[in-house]
Chain A
Amino acid sequence: MKMNTNSNVYTICYAAVMVIIVAFLLAFVASALKNTQDANVANDTKGQILTALGYDKATIDVAKVFDEKVKDNLYTCGPLQPYEGKFNTTYGSLIKKGELHVFTATTAQGEPAYVIPVVGRGLWGGLWGYIAVSETKDKVLGTYFYHESETAGLGARIGEKWFQDQFIGKPIFGADGEVVLTVTKAGAAQAENEVDGVTGATLTSNGVAAMVKDGLTAYSKFLGDRPDCVCDDEEFEIPEEECEQNDVEQ
């Protein structure tokens, strides 16, 4: 039996059947694997937060260490409120909504720290990261950055340890209370607040600089909320100024 594989009817039927089979297959695979994948993503997110705190996620039981050492909190104004809901794996939309998560933890070296999620844009797609700041909220203790689709070998190198470790010990704020921590061109970092970018990936490096600045600025209410600066709910809109003034006086 020889079918005429060039007839219109055959072509249309073939295309329709193929699309239905492939669509069914993809939908089946996606839904069958969704729970396992979500668990992996949540575990990986925890690992990223622990990396920012100086742990080596390859050598520890991520879920266990995270549960022991890290607490998920919400910042509105005033003291941190413990967060009871489901663990989030993306923070971009939450930050936009004003739901500011702050993780309290101790670093691998035993120092108390706050971990702040940041999100931004690189050359080809999204960037995200976690920044561990010191208890005094003025110094970086560690970072973790990753990306959706930066170029392998160039922009993708922001995910490497040497790049992230450069941020350790850097000051966050300048004398005027603005975020000064930034990324320069590769090899051009001079001042204390500057970090070398990645060679051949200036746009991704700029993306990281913008992400760090915007991310920390979004949390400026929290970071400016030093023990000596009381922000009550009525003054929720302008607490930074108040805090800055206190800074200057110090």
Chain B
Amino acid sequence: MSKLFSDENKAAFTNPLNLNNPVAVQVLGICSALAVTSQLKPAIVMGLSVTVITAFSNVIISLLRKTIPNRIRIIVQLVVVAALVTIVSQLLKAYVYDVSVQLSVYVGLIITNCILMGRLEAFAMQNSPWPSFLDGIGNGLGYAAILVIVGFVRELFGFGTLLGFNVIPQFMYDAGYTNNGMMVMPAMSLIIVGCVIWAHRAYNKEEK
């Protein structure tokens, strides 16, 4: 049991949350961070979906890693991810239809997310299933954390709401405050991601 949570395994899980964050340090998955962060709720849903899919495709690739021919390894990874996402979305559609309607827009974004391919190639191909699983969860949550920060800022300043609830009191609007339309534009998410990366690196530099 103690082996399951050895220091190495812990590192596989915690590193991507901070020091090796997939968005802030590896700069992966920026395209989807741009698409789904104009509000907080889609950002959370997308973050969780990517976490689950990364974890399980990492496990599958890790189990197959010794059999995969080197020259077609990227194709094999892609097939595994696409098949996994398709089967999961079919199951959701049959048994939890409401969730599947909510997620249908994300399916394409999940399959093409660079974090998936990046982790399969960089981690699961060299490591056994359990650390790969932890690495998948860690990277997914690291990605989700950045998405939530960006979604929080954009929804708060772009719409004056959080998760759909009004949080900016009416008297602020009466006093002349207006929502910032720029925040709703996709370009703004890149600027916010840039600021997050800046803050993150400045902070970690001091630590070193």
Residues of A within 8 A of B (CB): 3, 5-6, 10-11, 14-15, 18-19, 22, 25-26, 29-30, 33, 36-37, 40-41, 43-44, 148-154, 156, 199-200
Interchain CA distance A37-B69 in the complex, whole Å: 37
B179: nearest chain-A partner, CB-CB: A199
- B68 surroundings in chain A (CB, below 8 A): 5, 14
User: Are A5 and B38 in contact, with the CB atoms below 8 A?
Assistant: no
User: Are A152 and B106 in contact, with the CB atoms below 8 A?
Assistant: yes
User: Are B69 and A14 in contact, with the CB atoms below 8 A?
Assistant: yes
A13: nearest chain-B partner, CB-CB: B69
Interchain CA distance A97-B108 in the complex, whole Å: 32
Interchain CA distance A22-B82 in the complex, whole Å: 10
Interchain CA distance A29-B101 in the complex, whole Å: 18
Chain B residues numbered 24-42 whose CB sits less than 8 Å from any CB in chain A: 35-39, 42
Contact of B2 with A by CB under 8 A: no
Count of B interface residues, CB-CB < 8 Å: 37
Contact of B184 with A by CB under 8 A: yes
User: Are A26 and B86 in contact, with the CB atoms below 8 A?
Assistant: yes
Contact of B72 with A by CB under 8 A: yes
Interface class of chain A by DSSP: helix
A30: nearest chain-B partner, CB-CB: B90
Interchain CA distance A118-B154 in the complex, whole Å: 33
Point out which of A6, A152, A200 has the most chain B C-beta atoms below 10 A from its C-beta.
A152
Chain B residues numbered 75-124 whose CB sits less than 8 Å from any CB in chain A: 75-76, 79, 83, 86-87, 90-91, 93-95, 97, 101, 104-106, 108
